[in-house]
Amino acid sequence: MAKNKKMVEAITSRDEDFAKWYTDIVKKAQLIDYSSVKGCMVFRPYGYAIWENIQKDMDRRFKETGVENVYMPMFIPESLLQREKDHVEGFAPECAWVTHGGTEKLAERLCVRPTSETLFCEHYKKVVETYRDLPKLYNQWCSVVRWEKTTRPFLRNSEFLWQEGHTIHETAEEAKEETLRMLKVYEDFYRETLAIPAVVGRKTEKEKFAGAEITYTIEPMMHNGVALQGGTSHYFGDGFAKSFDIKFQGRDNTLHYPHQTSWGVSTRMIGAIIMVHGDDDGLILPPKISPIQVAVIPIAQHKEGVLEKAEELKEMLSKSFRVKLDDSDHAPGWKFSEYEMKGVPVRVEIGPKDIENNQCVIVRRDTREKIFTPLDKLEETVAKALEDIHEAMYNRALENMKEKTHVALNYDEFVTLGKEQGGFIKAMWCGDSECEDKLKEVTGGVKSRCIPFEEEKLADTCVCCGKPAKHMVYWGKQY
């Protein structure tokens, strides 16, 4: 048990130092390792398995809406990137450039893709000729490079994994519908798969994506009161089409510019899972994406029949769940801590007395509740426990978000909340970006997160300048 105690103590308490707690979990749960290049991670098998499960679930959801997967090149010629002025200006500070091929200097610099709008536009111009070619609903799973000044595993990386959807449509109405449809896919995924609630709405003009007409966002709240931009969906209008001269013959036999969308989420979702659900003993993984849903732990495995029964349970449960039997020579206490650290939702313990009584013990990771169940009821009891865990995790996260959502009716309240409370601040806003800048400056980083779809009228005037208010905005600090 000394090893067990030492292992638990190795995690910094999240209330003592949240950033250190986060880093401890990332490393000790064996999610990533650091590489020799700043901001570039090695995904260890357990960390990558979480991403694979996320990818599998989301990919299914995308395809159910008619989306097809494609793959675009990693490199973007500088001249191609320059064709959309607002877009390139937005990414210029983060671009990584290739200047040489072998020993030869390239005639034109190549950007290592920070995003792929320009590549998709180049392709669309070749394949879209008439309205019959539309819509094209594409997505790619890939990595992108953004040279971040400050990096943190999963949250801000120089290279990270993501998906980026790019669609092109005959009309503005169709494109706008697609933008909102994919935002809803994200919202449902966060709730149904990750057990994470979020505020959903539209970004302000200042905060929208470079080159977009409208940007929508999903904003979950972390345990420490800091928001995370969990995913975005953008309506581009016909701006990119005009920049790249993409035209199609319409139903009226005249040429038209198509309308485009883009939407994406990344491996920062894993960071959100850690910071929303984790505790001082490690990860608590949502059952639907946990690489191991059930860990079978034999107790007194040296005794006759124990390992055989544990193997029998593993085989039975593996028909419905992702199961690992740990028959290593580590002590049971060490194993308990190991799978708690890794956030495995359910632990099944089986020992000689359990076998005698034709039962086993199920332990929930989220509450540590022990459930004694007959062996012939094990599968349905595990299934019920996984459902209950997901629901309980979501409700805890929702309660945390509610507790950390405040209302500011005037400037002084806003500044006090921004400096001392953290979390979301609901406050009225006039629509002027100068007020956004001022509120960010005086609070040390509180920014507009989004304008929710359902706005409340908290007051008649802007919390910053006192002018007539146009919108209620969720504000907060962000990762």
Q: pLDDT tens digits for 252-283?
A: 999 999 999 999 999 999 999 999 999 999 99
State what percent of residues in the chain have pLDDT above 70.
97
pLDDT at 410: 97
pLDDT at 2: 39
Over residues 468-476, the mean pLDDT reads 98
What are the φ and ψ backbone dihedral angles of 155, each rounded to 5 degrees?
-85, -50
Over residues 443-468, the mean pLDDT reads 97
407 or 7: which leads in pLDDT: 407
CB atoms within 10 A of CB 136: 19
Q: Cβ contacts of residue 236 below 8 Å, gap of 6+?
A: 117, 175, 211, 212, 213, 259, 260, 261, 262
pLDDT at 92: 78
- Res 200 pLDDT > 50: yes
- Strands 32-34, 424-429: parallel, antiparallel or unpaired by DSSP? unpaired
Q: What CATH number does domain 294-388 carry, 3.40.980.10, 3.40.50.800, 3.90.550.10, 4.10.91.20?
A: 3.40.50.800
- Res 57 pLDDT > 50: yes
Query: Confidence band (pLDDT; 50, 70, 90) for 8?
Result: very low
Q: Cβ contacts of residue 377 below 8 Å, gap of 6+?
A: none
Q: Where exactly does CATH 3.30.930.10 map onto the chain?
A: 14-277
Q: Where exactly does CATH 3.30.110.30 map onto the chain?
A: 405-476
> Is the peptide bond prior to 452 cis by the omega test (within 30 degrees of 0)?
no
Cα torsion angle, 447, 280, 189, 113, sign: positive
- Res 1 pLDDT > 60: no
pLDDT at 9: 53
Residue 381: left if φ>0, alpha if ψ -120 to 50, beta else—which one? alpha
Q: Using one digit for the tens of pLDDT, what is the confidence trace for 120-174?
A: 999 999 999 999 999 999 999 999 999 888 889 999 999 999 999 999 999 999 9
CA distance 59 to 374: 37
Q: Using one digit for the tens of pLDDT, what is the confidence trace for 18-38?
A: 999 999 999 999 999 999 999
Report CA-CA distances (Å) from 83 to 76, 121, 149, 444.
12, 10, 26, 36
- Res 440 pLDDT > 60: yes
- Res 4 pLDDT > 50: no
Q: What is the fold of 405-476?
A: Translation Initiation Factor IF3 (3.30.110)
Q: What is the fold of 14-277?
A: BirA Bifunctional Protein; domain 2 (3.30.930)
- Res 338 pLDDT > 80: yes
Q: Where exactly does CATH 3.40.50.800 map onto the chain?
A: 294-388
**Identity of the residue numbered 225:** G
SS3 letters across 366-389: CCCCEEEEEHHHHHHHHHHHHHHH
pLDDT at 3: 43
Query: Are the C-beta atoms of residues 156 and 479 closer than 8 Å to each other?
Result: yes
Q: Which of 267, 275, 281, 271 is nearest to 344 (CA)?
A: 281
